[in-house]
Chains A and B, each alone.
Chain A
Amino acid sequence: MSSDVLLSVKDISILSEDRQCNIVDTISFDVMEGSIHSIIGPNGAGKSTLGYAIMGVYHPCSGKIFFKGKDITDLSITERAKRGITLAWQTPARFDGLSVYDYIGVGVKDKNLIEQRVREALEIVNLDPDIYIKRKVDANLSGGERKRIELASVIAMRPKLVILDEAEAGMDLIVLESFMDIFNKIKELGMTILLITHREDIGMVSDNSTLIWDGKVLANGHFRDIMVLYCQKAGLKKICNRTLFNQFDECIDKIIEEETRENKI
């Protein structure tokens, strides 16, 4: 991991469609180049929405996003992808007639490398290339197969930053076991990972972590510490590190303070 910041999210907020509330509320964090940075938080916390905002699917109503020091807040999805950002979708789209080969090959810039990259990527995600390249990315793929193909398609593309939105969800145990290998491969290939996950064992690979709750950042830090906070906040009976209680209390105090302030306004 270098000491350079690859992605910097500064105070971004995203309004809900009915414009009644912020799904993402003044969120800030940095992702270091070459690192695995995890985003954790309960269902509906705003993790996917945040991922989409970085990809350019949603545009924040305030705040800025910097990638390699450049402001990309106003760029389109395509322009961000061309600069080296991509996303593996939590629920990947299905396509009538599009082959696995063509789907995985879409992001490979050098057309001479497509076959090699597609096969290699399928092998990394433990799918037999000879069987899968001819199949279609349609409704006939199982949920787990579709997720693995999604992962393969980002690996073949070789972006600088890959946002993995619960890439592991729906995968079988055998694949989960080898997930660490997959992450290592992705890292070896020079990619930085923004990892959205619910799984403690998967999150353990991350260098840094951000806990999101109700659209806000509750804490940034090491995954283990963040997990302790998360469990506490969620009321889960986990053995917690004593020293973290204070930190946690501080967070809660901050939220209560903010909420009372909002109510006053």
Chain B
Amino acid sequence: MSERSDSSEILNSLEKYNLDISDYLPSHSGPKLVLNFNKITTVSEVEGIILKGREIENGIIADIVIKEGTVLEDPIHLCFGVNKETGLQEIFPRIIAEDNSSVTLQAHCSFPNAKNLTHKMFGHIYVGKNCKFVYNETHYHGEQNGATVAPVSHVYVGENSYFENNFFLTQGTIGRMKIQIDIYAFKDSIINSNVKAFGKNSLDSIRVRDAVFLEGENARSIIKMKAAAIGGGEVMMFGITEGNAANTTGHVDCTEIVKDRGSRCRAIPLIRATDESCHITHEASLGKVDSAQLNALMARGLDEDEATDLIIKNML
């Protein structure tokens, strides 16, 4: 099978999840980097963006630089796909957003046939001053619970910048997933981190550590973690926020719904303040769906199961 047809299979797997794949096709003019297993199949740059991929033994190093003042409407697409059943993929993205830039990075990790497949990522993102940086990562792990996925990201957000992280793992099966995100927020920066995960059976195990360290004065953050575990699935959310500078504000919010025997949800919010002017809070709710929501839907004729499913589906 040729490389090209391999990557089109990966792209097709994205289409299965109602995703518009046209942005990834070679004919599309936007910036992108597409991987098929550990081979780079497409790299396209646009003005203001440097995209470089280098193949290494079990994966690639991807360097992305968003030059000073670059403002992009279209997202930069990264597609890390593997259509093999087994193997190891290691990705090392190094991303620099220079001052006054504004971009969205859309990463898709697609492993449609995973049976015993490991994907690891060690990412570093440096966001300069006065930037807006949105990082969206969506995963599809096929239907066989056969993926082990462990991304680790370190993010540094410079003065007066806005950083948004959206990490969604809600379609298909998950397999074993361990995510670690550490975000360091400097003066006047704003962090908005959203993680959603859905464990659907006893082979799905999800652990998320989402941490924000408010290191510069007036930095603000909110971490929102939403998860559901059904059919014996397991989810653990570890939301961390530290206020280490004057007038920092942070909040960790965790909502997890558990349904069916054997399913498990855990939440460990850890908040720390080392300055008297910090305001760090957390809120967590685990277990059954909120009864007011259930009653409202049941009063329109849904039974408890249908109502719970509808609430989970829309929350995630």
Contact = CB atoms under 8 A, between A and B. Distances in A.
A194 to B, nearest CB: 13
Most chain B Cβ neighbours within 10 Å, of A78, A80, A81, A89: A78
A93 B290 contact: yes
Interface stretch (A8-16, A63-71, A94-102, A113-121): A94-102
Contacts of A87: 299
Given A95-B293, A97-B314, A81 B226 contact: no
Interface residues of A, number: 25
A76 B292 CA distance: 15
B290 A98 contact: no
A86 to B, nearest CB: 5
B298 A97 contact: no
A93 B297 CA distance: 10
B300 A57 contact: no
A102 B309 CA distance: 13
Contacts of B293: 93, 95
A116 to B, nearest CB: 17
B56 interface: no
Given A95-B293, A96-B226, A76 B315 contact: no
The majority secondary structure among interface residues of chain B is helix
Interface of B: 226, 255, 290, 292-293, 295-304, 310-311, 314-316
Contact of A57 (B255, B295, B301, B302): B295
Contact of B315 (A57, A86, A97, A157): A97
Given A95-B311, A102-B314, A106-B310, A157 B292 contact: no
A92 interface: yes
Given A78-B298, A78-B303, A98 B310 contact: yes
List the 10 shortest-distance A-B pairs measured between CB atoms, nearest first: A107-B300, A97-B314, A77-B298, A98-B314, A93-B292, A81-B301, A106-B300, A93-B296, A93-B293, A96-B315
B292 A55 contact: no
Contacts of A93: 290, 292-293, 295-296
Interface string A39-62: 000000000000000010100000
A109 interface: yes
Contacts of B311: 95, 98
A95 B293 CA distance: 7
B253 to A, nearest CB: 11
Contacts of A238: none
A134 interface: no
Most chain A Cβ neighbours within 10 Å, of B290, B292, B300: B300
Contact of A78 (B226, B290, B304, B316): B304
18 contacts: A55-B295, A57-B295, A77-B295, A77-B299, A78-B302, A87-B299, A92-B296, A93-B293, A93-B295, A95-B315, A96-B226, A96-B314, A97-B315, A97-B316, A99-B314, A102-B314, A106-B297, A106-B302
